[in-house]
Structure 1
Amino acid sequence: MDEPSEPSAASDLLPSTFLIGGGWSDPGVYGPFLRAATGAPGSTPRIACVILDEGEGDGERQFARYDEVLRSAGDCTPVPVLVPIGARFDVEAAADVDGLLVCGGLTPAYQDAFADCLDRLPRLLAERRIPYAGFSAGAALAARAAVVGGWLLDGVAVCPEDTGEDLDEIAVRDGLGLVPFAVDAHAAQWGTLPRLIAAVTRYRLPHGVAVDENTLVEVAADGRAHVSGLGRAHSVRPADAEGDGVVVRSYGAGESFPTGATGLTGLTGLTG
């Protein structure tokens, strides 16, 4: 597939972006996102929950779970935005809410659902100061170079097969460009950190972050990523300009790290 297009100037104006690595044990990871999603004075923030719907009540069941965890984290009104599998997300669904949460599921399917608005949605979020939160698949989609799945690198296993998201070879596709690094989720629980390391080395990505479950990485306007929750965030960077090896550093609650320059460059050979 072609290289991702350059990020728009709107990305520099975005409010904080919130990356949740999956898990249901700590509703508190949603707290910073809800505090950023301020509505009109005296009103309850409306949070759009984008969920890929497989039909037969699947979307409603998924939404009920997010509705419960969001309400337990703070005062808000979750709003279901159910997108049938194979359909496209309508960016106008984010136009009249105070926060946008893109939920979990098959990451390649989420990337496909957002493929028509990879430029428009970040512009809308910036213009209306709407914070974005991504849970698992939604966190991966926030990157410009989105690691959407796979468990093999040139036929060699780098992570468990059941983490492959219905893909074999590791795949990196166009994302929203809300954060300047690639993202993987369920790092400690599913063993996905090696997949991110493989993606950073194969596709010459300048930075990747693998997030544990029940862990939040808040990418703030000050250019730093702030970690909270029960787990850790694992930062992966090339060891040198030639791409020979990587440096991995892990950060826990209360710690932060620099995200690097806005926008990813030098991406070649992305699969899709």
Structure 2
Amino acid sequence: MVGAPSRERVVSIHLVGGGWPMEDDGAVYRPFFEELAAHAEAAGKIEGARLAIVLVRDGDGPERFAELVTAFEHLGKIDAVAVLAPEGTPIEPASFAEVDGIVVWGGLTPAYRASLEPSFGELRRLVASGVPYLGFSAGAAIAAEKAVVGGWKIDTVEIGAEEAAEDLEQLTVAPGIGLIDLAVDVHAAQWGSVSRLIAATEAGVVDGGVAIDEHTALVIGEGPLQVLGRGSVWKITPDSGSVRVSTAGAS
């Protein structure tokens, strides 16, 4: 079941490796918004799909929310719900009442994981019921059962760039939402995070995973895995004591 959602029911999970503002006429996001609209239509909603947009950020949450709403309105009719939290503030499950889709955006990955932890069970329930999920950058990383939340060393060995370490020194893997059974790293080519996921796999901290480039999405649904956008998805697989790396581009 490698690469599939970790629950019994196969659902749509869209993982974007970063990269903003939107490019290529929103090609990376359009399948998510098609599913969002279909979910709202099935629920009989005519005022627009109820879309929860999660931002865990200090200072610029409202401004970034407005920016995202403006961009997303070009992709579909939405009733946007602001789920905003400063870093260190928990997000309660009630924030996601009656939503047709969930977007978890980017910022400091450990902060997103900590704030959303009280809602992990509710997010799993919603996605299992058919609510599509889009994780961007941090939102993609924490979708995994074992979330790679940062770090640039294992003990004293450097495994990546300090600038991409999410304010953490040691490689840190923590329980994520649990939507998929692969670890996820993001900004793969741009931040060099492929090496971090390779090291995490070699060390046995995770059982392999995917690193996703910016302006690129991995879509996990009912059919084969899809890659959208201009970049690559790097797949890291343990292989008899070593690690195998392969890449996939847009279908």
- Give the TM-score, by structure 2 length: 0.89
Match of 1:19 in 2: 15
Q: How does 1:20-99 map to 2 (within 5 A)?
A: 20-24=16-20, 25-26=22-23, 27-37=26-36, 38=38, 39-40=40-41, 41=44, 42-55=46-59, 58-99=60-101
1:1-272 alignment runs, 5 A limit: 11-24=7-20, 25-26=22-23, 27-37=26-36, 38=38, 39-40=40-41, 41=44, 42-55=46-59, 58-127=60-129, 129-222=130-223, 224-240=224-240, 244-254=241-251
* C-alpha distance in 2 between matches for 1:77 and 1:20: 22
SS at match of 1:247: strand
Preserved contact between residue 197 and residue 208 of structure 2 (Cα < 8 Å): no
Q: Report if aligned partners of 1:233, 1:252 keep a CA contact under 8 Å in 2.
A: yes
The one-letter amino acid of 1:227's match is: V
- Displacement of 1:31 in angstroms is 0.7
**More displaced stretch, 38-47 vs 185-194:** 38-47
Whether the 8 Å contact between 2:210 and 2:234 is mirrored in structure 1 is yes
Q: Secondary structure at the residue paired with 1:66?
A: helix
Task: Give the C-alpha shift of residue 89 in structure 1.
Answer: 1.2
Q: Which runs of 4+ in 1 moved over 4 A?
A: none
Q: Give the AA of the match of 1:249.
A: S
Q: Deviations over 1:63-107 (max 9, x none)?
A: 122223322333333322101221111122222211000000000
1:123 Cα deviation (Å)?
1.5
**Structure 2 unaligned regions, length at least 5:** none
**Per-residue displacement from partner, 1:157-204 (whole Å, max 9, x unpaired)?**
221111000000110000011111000110011111101111122235
Q: Which amino acid aligns with 1:246?
A: V
Query: Helix, strand or coil: the match of 2:189?
Result: helix
For structure 1, list consecutive stretches of 5 or more residues without a partner in the other structure: 1-8, 255-272
Q: Is the 8 A contact 1:10 1:122 kept in 2?
A: no
Q: Would you say the 8 A contact 1:108–1:148 is kept in 2?
A: yes
**Separation of aligned partners in 1, 2:225 and 2:149:** 21
Report the Cα offset of residue 21 of structure 1: 0.4
Q: Is the 8 A contact 1:22 1:185 kept in 2?
A: yes
RMSD: 1.8
Question: Do the aligned residues in 1 keep the contact of 2:16 with 2:212 (CA within 8 Å)?
Answer: yes
Shift in Å at residue 229 of structure 1? 0.6
Q: For residues 29-60 of structure 1, what are the alpha-carbon distances to aligned partners after superposition, in whole Å with 9 as ceiling and x for unaligned?
A: 111111111313444212110001313xx111
CA distance in 1, matches of 2:57, 2:163: 21
Percent of counterpart pairs with the same letter? Answer: 40
Which whole-Å CA distance do the structure 1 matches of 2:71 and 2:210 have between them? 24
Tell me how many residue pairs correspond in the alignment. Answer: 239
- TM-score with structure 1 length normalisation? 0.83
Q: Specify whether residues 120 and 96 from structure 1 end up closer, same or farther in structure 2 by C-alpha distance, changes over 3 A only.
A: closer
Q: What does the per-residue CA deviation read over 1:111-163, in whole Å, with 9 as the maximum and x for residues that have no partner?
A: 11122232332023323x21111000000010000000001122222211110
Distance in 1 separating the partners of 2:112 and 2:170: 18
